[in-house]
A and B are shown apart, each in its own frame.
Chain A
């Protein structure tokens, strides 16, 4: 009688899962890099004074936030090759994650920027600073630190979304555990291990974000 959970087997597959974990972490890191950069650009575009820039941006952000990430991943995976762009599944996945979470980050940046008191901008104007200098030197350094914890939370959320990449054949943790399962007919161990790994890592990351929040207090925390 095979036991429900075979510990020996679990230990056996750990290294294989470890390789997949590396892919998962890669996807998360690169995806987040894209998200925080693109998110900032989107946030600034949304605040543009020309409606022809701000309105479509707002619509885009709303659209991306309200539709399933899985469908967006499929969209890029199947539609991009048609337009001639050839990317590996992993790259496509990172792009999809990055764009999806850029929309979330854009809203976070927006909240941070709007929380900077108007007086700051007025003072900069009175000192004859250009719009660019005001934005980069005065507003952003005050807008960003308070929202870093929120960005950190999205990092954790993106990490938990990486299994979606299994749908486009990226061999991250979930895909790897499915492969183990279909090869050995033992799904319990790989899936449970993956579940526990996610739980452990996201708890650690959440703890890290909280420490970060406390550490950033001196730059002006939540208002």
Chain B
């Protein structure tokens, strides 16, 4: 047991970085998903086209390739961002693109009669989306949204490949220092699993809070 505990301090520092990135990217991803999902359903082409391109590009390419591209290519356009910021923004964009499809599906899932009743009452489009459609769509977004959050957590491991000292990076460092490969990776996997379980529990709490009567 002593042995395992000695590995923890370094790994926990990495875990903290992982959690920070996960939370920051998640917070950024939600508005992105809402904007892109709603944008994709807009009838104005100058809104729906960029939204569609964003969603298709970030869903259709590999997260790691996206990370590398932004890490290496962005500086050439004069944009200097820290690796951490690149990691957060790219992972958020990635999650947001998948989230946009969830948003779109959930909004389409609200019965058309709801919209019709709202139009009959002469509500504006904005009111209809905000007060009638979204409140009914949100509960449907939570379970798949939770899955996307777990994918996001898993994707944070990729930032170790662009030099961010997250949990996976720490694991690699520790491995080359102590050569206790098996122990290290078992602990690391368990730590990720624990965070994933926390996320699932959190989503379940949200599901209860947002239940439509």
A–B contact, 8 Å CB criterion (strictly below): yes
Measured CA separation A191–B62 after assembly (Å) = 11
Contact assessment for A178 and B68 in the assembled complex, using a CB-CB cutoff below 8 Å: yes
Residue on A nearest B66 in the bound complex, by CB = A195
* Interface majority SS (helix, strand, loop, mixed), chain B: helix
Tell me how many residues of B have a C-beta within 8 Å of chain A: 37
- Chain B residues with Cβ under 8 A from A66's Cβ? 150, 154, 192-193, 196-197
Measured CA separation A174–B64 after assembly (Å) = 9
Contact assessment for B161 and A167 in the assembled complex, using a CB-CB cutoff below 8 Å: yes
Contact assessment for B181 and A79 in the assembled complex, using a CB-CB cutoff below 8 Å: yes
Shortest distance between the CB of A7 and any CB in chain B (Å)? 16
Say whether B160 faces chain A, with CB atoms less than 8 Å apart: yes
- Chain B residues with Cβ under 8 A from A74's Cβ? 168, 171-172, 185
- Mask for A167-178, Cβ within 8 A of B = 1, else 0? 100000110011
Contact assessment for B189 and A75 in the assembled complex, using a CB-CB cutoff below 8 Å: yes
- Mask for B48-73, Cβ within 8 A of A = 1, else 0? 00000000110011111110110011
Shortest distance between the CB of A106 and any CB in chain B (Å)? 15
Contact assessment for A192 and B73 in the assembled complex, using a CB-CB cutoff below 8 Å: yes
Contact assessment for B62 and A187 in the assembled complex, using a CB-CB cutoff below 8 Å: no
Shortest distance between the CB of A108 and any CB in chain B (Å)? 13
Residue on B nearest A156 in the bound complex, by CB = B60
User: For chains A and B in complex, what number of residue pairs have CB atoms within 8 angstroms?
Assistant: 106
Residue on B nearest A201 in the bound complex, by CB = B60
Among the stretches A14-22, A33-41, A47-55, A158-166, the one at the interface with B is: A158-166
Shortest distance between the CB of B144 and any CB in chain A (Å)? 13
- Chain A residues with Cβ under 8 A from B188's Cβ? 71
Contact assessment for A202 and B168 in the assembled complex, using a CB-CB cutoff below 8 Å: no
Measured CA separation A194–B65 after assembly (Å) = 8
- Chain A residues with Cβ under 8 A from B157's Cβ? 68-71
Residue in B56, B61, B66, B172 with the greatest tally of chain A CB atoms within 10 Å? B61
Shortest distance between the CB of B110 and any CB in chain A (Å)? 20
Say whether A203 faces chain B, with CB atoms less than 8 Å apart: yes
Shortest distance between the CB of A172 and any CB in chain B (Å)? 10
Say whether B158 faces chain A, with CB atoms less than 8 Å apart: yes
Shortest distance between the CB of A93 and any CB in chain B (Å)? 13
Contact assessment for B185 and A195 in the assembled complex, using a CB-CB cutoff below 8 Å: no
Partner of B61, one of A79, A162, A188, A198: A198
Contact assessment for B182 and A79 in the assembled complex, using a CB-CB cutoff below 8 Å: yes
- Chain B residues with Cβ under 8 A from A65's Cβ? 150
Shortest distance between the CB of A66 and any CB in chain B (Å)? 4
Measured CA separation A88–B157 after assembly (Å) = 23
Contact assessment for B65 and A191 in the assembled complex, using a CB-CB cutoff below 8 Å: yes
Partner of B171, one of A71, A174, A187: A71
Contact assessment for A70 and B197 in the assembled complex, using a CB-CB cutoff below 8 Å: no
Measured CA separation A67–B196 after assembly (Å) = 8
Contact assessment for A187 and B196 in the assembled complex, using a CB-CB cutoff below 8 Å: no
Interface residues of B (CB under 8 A from A): 56-57, 60-66, 68-69, 72-73, 76-77, 150, 153-158, 160-161, 168, 171-172, 175, 181-182, 185, 188-189, 192-193, 196-197
Between A and B, 26 residue pairs with Cβ closer than 8 Å are A65-B150, A66-B150, A66-B193, A67-B193, A67-B196, A68-B153, A68-B155, A68-B156, A68-B157, A70-B154, A70-B157, A72-B189, A74-B171, A160-B63, A163-B62, A166-B161, A173-B65, A174-B64, A178-B68, A194-B65, A195-B65, A198-B60, A198-B65, A199-B60, A199-B61, A202-B61
Contacts A67-B192, A68-B153, A198-B60 known; 16 new A-B pairs at CB < 8 A: A66-B192, A66-B193, A70-B157, A70-B160, A74-B172, A79-B185, A160-B62, A163-B64, A187-B72, A187-B73, A191-B65, A191-B68, A194-B65, A195-B66, A202-B60, A202-B61
Instruction: Give the 4 A-B residue pairs with the shortest CB-CB distance, closest first.
Output: A68-B157, A66-B196, A187-B72, A160-B62
